[in-house]
Amino acid sequence: MRKRVAVIITQYWLNSHADVIVSRLLGELGYKPQVELVAMYVEQVTARDLSRELSVRHGVPICATIEEAVAWGAPERPVDGVVVIGEHGDYPWNEKQQHLYPRLRFMQETLAAMDLHGIRVPIFLDKHFSYNNTDARWIYDEVKRRGIPFMAGSSIPYTDYLPHFDRAFLQKGRIFFINSHGGYESYGFHGMEVLQALAEHRHGAELGVASVHALSGDEMWQAMDRGEWPEALMLRALALEPELAGRHPRKECPNPALFVVTYQDGTMGYVAQLDKFATRWSFAVQDDEGAYIAAYCNTGTERPYRHFTRLTEMMEEMFINGTLPCRIERNLLTTYLINSAMESLYLRRPLSLEEWNVAYDPAPNR
């Protein structure tokens, strides 16, 4: 008998995160699921909603509450896993340009339902834990306290890197430069994910992060002119996009930002947000001797967005076998990184992460 899962969703429409993940679990998009989706909760239903149509097509009930979805089939045959997708929807923004998605509330209600009905099953939480570090830590602590297998984040860190390179080089990495695009928070998080997925492989990792500093607009380019960040690495990574050959974002990127990450061991990480210029996540890594590698994340740019296939497979592996693709501490740290970057951007000064330090062994399942 296949494992059974419930999904908790903000909105469900074409090419939304619910669509590219949950539709696969329903057997859409050419995907053959290994688990059975048995219940859905969808908080906001819009004119372009897909959940009602797919509910009828696949015979999957839509529940009125998160508790009803999580407790579906209990006590005789409770669900074996829960997928929480708190992305997209009509939710407010704060003064730091953060979208206030209800991931904390979704997790609180999910865990409360599990406690009430005596359920202990794996959870997947899409993207970062929360826009607030205190809330993120609450989620981490509560899941760990219950001993629940927990997977979070996105598909981007699990894509193939092209061109291929010897991953052993990452052990010597001292400077990690990531080119990103899209919104500061929504896609900047992906840039932080790529950064941490690479940086955690270095010798002695992971001791954590000391500080984060965000620069934007002319301030970013002036810092480059002063030699405060490695322009050459940015250009080496951008050169992997043929259409960008000979072009510089300084002249063409309208609202750039740079997130500067200083690790406890002195390693430096950079995420350049180059919206309307870069079109993929590319990176360059340099060692102490000046040698470097450069590559990009091979994401699918058109429907059905093949990188979500790998993510869905990893989710199913967790539901079936309890196997995690990475340590959840990586996702906690990347949550802290993007939240601190957005606060630094708002306050226009560096921020210490001593209060939010995360040290971990990057080997999964230890």
Structural domains counted in the chain: 2
Q: What is the largest CA-CA distance in the chain?
A: 66
Across the beta sheet with 351-352, the strand order is 161-162, 292-297, 282-286, 175-180, 268-273, 257-263, 209-216, 351-352
129 & 177 share domain: no
235 & 275 share domain: yes
Q: Is residue 103 part of a domain?
A: yes
Question: For position 363, what pLDDT does the model report?
Answer: 81
110 & 245 share domain: no
Domain range for 104 is 4-153
- pLDDT higher than 60, residue 26: yes
159 close to 251: Cβ distance less than 8 angstroms? no
Q: Is residue 281 part of a domain?
A: yes
In Å, how far from its chain's centre is CA 63? 27
CATH number, domain of 293, equals: 3.30.360
142 & 203 share domain: no
Q: Is residue 315 part of a domain?
A: no
70 & 138 share domain: yes
pLDDT, averaged across the chain: 97
- pLDDT tens across 195-211, in order? 999 999 999 889 999 99
Half-sphere exposure of 198 (CA within 13 A, CB side): 37
pTM of the model as a whole = 0.97
Q: Where are the beta strands (DSSP E) in 184-335?
A: 209-216, 257-263, 268-273, 282-286, 292-297
Q: What whole-number percentage of the chain has pLDDT above 90?
A: 97
Q: 193-205: buried (b, 16+ CB within 10 Å) or exposed (e) per residue?
A: bbbbbbbbbbeeb
Question: For position 245, what pLDDT does the model report?
Answer: 83
7 close to 83: Cβ distance less than 8 angstroms? yes
15 close to 303: Cβ distance less than 8 angstroms? yes
Q: For residue 274, give the nearest of 239, 250, 302 by alpha carbon.
A: 250
Q: How confident is the model over 93-103, as a mean pLDDT?
A: 98
Q: What whole-number percentage of the chain has pLDDT above 70?
A: 99
Beta bridge partners of residue 180, listed in sequence order: 273
- pLDDT higher than 50, residue 366: no
- pLDDT tens across 31-59, in order? 999 999 999 999 999 999 999 999 999 99
Q: Is residue 313 part of a domain?
A: no
Q: Which of 107, 134, 153 is the last residue of a domain?
A: 153
174 close to 290: Cβ distance less than 8 angstroms? no
Question: For position 246, what pLDDT does the model report?
Answer: 87
Q: Which residues contact 134 (CB under 8 A, 6 or more apart)?
A: none
Q: Which residues contact 141 (CB under 8 A, 6 or more apart)?
A: none
CATH number, domain of 145, equals: 3.40.50.720
216 & 135 share domain: no
Q: Which of 297, 312, 338 is the last residue of a domain?
A: 297
163 & 105 share domain: no
Q: Is residue 361 part of a domain?
A: no
Q: Which of 138, 153, 168 is the last residue of a domain?
A: 153
Question: For position 364, what pLDDT does the model report?
Answer: 61
68 & 179 share domain: no
Q: Which residues contact 321 (CB under 8 A, 6 or more apart)?
A: none
SS3 286: strand
345 close to 214: Cβ distance less than 8 angstroms? yes
Q: How confident is the model over 225-250, as a mean pLDDT?
A: 96
Q: For residue 359, give the nearest of 333, 335, 341, 339 by alpha carbon.
A: 333
- pLDDT tens across 114-166, in order? 999 999 999 999 999 999 999 999 999 999 999 999 999 999 999 999 999 99
d(CA 196, CA 192): 6
